[in-house]
Structure 1
Amino acid sequence: MAGEPQAEAAAPTRWKKVKATRTGDLGLPPETAEDMLGEAHDALAEAPPEAVITRLARTEDQAATAVRLLAFALPKREAVWWACLASRADIAADPKPTRPADTACLEAAEAWVYKPVEERRLTCYRAALASKTDRPASLAALAAAFSSGSLAPPDSPPEVQAIPPDDSLTAQIVGNAVVMAAVRTDPAQASRHLARLLDQGCDIARGGNGALESSPA
């Protein structure tokens, strides 16, 4: 029946880490909301984020959209942690030897999650710049680097004016990192990988650490 999806979305179980009660309050730039949710973005603005993400996740061709929306729903620390878990899964699935640059980015991003201070944010920025790739690990470091501070490179001279990052930048980068981790090494199994990563992200949103059974250590 036409009214059933709305009824399902009316009273979802609240996710501990998601502070917004309306999808419209997640801070998506208007063009991003329209790109992700299409013509339904205005209608879904009043729905709880948990309900919208769950509905999208149940539809295979909307799973990537669910990932991107969840990245906006999570606080920045939790979102970067999710990107770190996705990066570890990506590295574990890659038959090629792990690149030292990926390890450096991942370790820097995880260190920032444990203690999100300016010094560690700058370490993430330097690691991402040194990586010179857009693999999930480097994106995880970049998501932490652009969580606050300035977009200006960390070793810029004092006369370079600080450029505060857009508040949505971390979420956008995390969404890209998680989707990339699902498809990069084994595109044929992308749907399964994406579903697994979504489960981890939802566990984090509920207050867990994303360490589901059989997840990479």
Structure 2
Amino acid sequence: MAASARGEGAPAPARWKKIKAARAADLAVPGDDDDTPLPEAAGDDPPEAVVLRLAGGGRFPDAVKVLAYALPKREAVWWACLAARHSQQTVGASAAAVACVEAAEAWVYKPVEERRQACYRIVESKRPDNPAALTALAAAWSGGSLVPPDAPDEVPAVPPDESLTARTVANAIIMAAVMHDPAQAPARFRRFLAQGRDIAEGGTGAIDAAAAPP
């Protein structure tokens, strides 16, 4: 099945260091309907092949989604940080949005519970209507509990779904690409996917001087 999806006899792309899933189907990437998988990511091809094929066909949001689900949580959140930072450099940002990205970056540098909770606190009173807030949420939902950190002790913990960070990262990156000047969205998607690929290959996403290492 994998050979036919790539084209008979076409070589498989080299594996990307940070992606552990052997088959895209193992990621359970949702399609437009959250209850059904993305058809292009439901087969035996490795995630790398699916990302490249979707991006090559101009299916940028779906390519972002597959890569967000394929990356480990820490690397995925870093990817969203880069996209949010680029969006802020392009159109400016409020102090609150900058603080959201800084909190997420701090969690990437040291992904401990205290910093995860800091991401939750900084975003819980804000509307997640921008890439920065979604990025902080992606870090906040990386583990622990969905219950706010300051909730009474008698409130039981609610572990987040394992896919919640990936879903939120994908939404953050897609929003960063399309929310300002949609005519530039394809160029932004290509930039973000190049950064995501570099991260997946073990790099920092620093495709230019604007990106700093985690």
TM-score (norm 1): 0.89
Work out the percentage of aligned pairs sharing the same amino acid.
Answer: 54
1:207 corresponds to which of 195, 202, 205: 202
Structure 2: distance between partners of 1:58 and 1:8: 19
Q: Secondary structure at the match of 2:97?
A: helix
Alignment of 1:44-123 (within 5 A): 44=43, 46-60=44-58, 62-94=59-91, 96=92, 98-123=93-118
Asked whether 1:154 is paired with 2:149, we answer yes
Q: Secondary structure at the match of 1:15?
A: coil
Preserved CA contact (<8 Å) 2:134 2:172: yes
Q: Cα deviations across residues 9-31 of structure 1 (Å, max 9, x unaligned)?
A: 75220100001111112243685
Structure 1: distance between partners of 2:137 and 2:68: 14
- In structure 2, what is the equivalent of residue 192 of structure 1? 187
Q: Secondary structure at the match of 1:103?
A: helix
Q: Cα deviations across residues 97-125 of structure 1 (Å, max 9, x unaligned)?
A: x2111111111000000100000000000
Asked whether 1:135 is paired with 2:136, we answer no
Relative to total residues, which structure has the larger helix share, 1 or 2?
Answer: 1
Q: Cα deviations across residues 168-201 of structure 1 (Å, max 9, x unaligned)?
A: 0000000000000001122111111111101100
Moved more, 131-140 or 163-172: 131-140
Kindly tell me the number of residue pairs found equivalent between the two proteins: 209
Q: Using CA pairs below 8 Å that are at least 6 residues apart, which structure has the higher relative contact order?
A: 1
Structure 2: distance between partners of 1:8 and 1:146: 41
Preserved CA contact (<8 Å) 2:29 2:38: no
TM-score (norm 2): 0.90
Offset at residue 136 of structure 1 (A):
0.5
Preserved CA contact (<8 Å) 1:34 1:41: no
- In structure 1, what is the equivalent of residue 121 of structure 2? 126
Q: Cα deviations across residues 70-109 of structure 1 (Å, max 9, x unaligned)?
A: 0000000000000000000110111x5x211111111100
Structure 1: distance between partners of 2:90 and 2:184: 11
Preserved CA contact (<8 Å) 1:101 1:130: no
What runs of 5+ residues in structure 1 fail to find an aligned partner? none
Structure 1: distance between partners of 2:166 and 2:74: 10
What runs of 5+ residues in structure 2 fail to find an aligned partner? none
Moved more, 140-149 or 126-135: 126-135
Offset at residue 41 of structure 1 (A):
4.7
Preserved CA contact (<8 Å) 1:33 1:41: no
Offset at residue 133 of structure 1 (A):
3.5
Q: Secondary structure at the match of 1:131?
A: coil
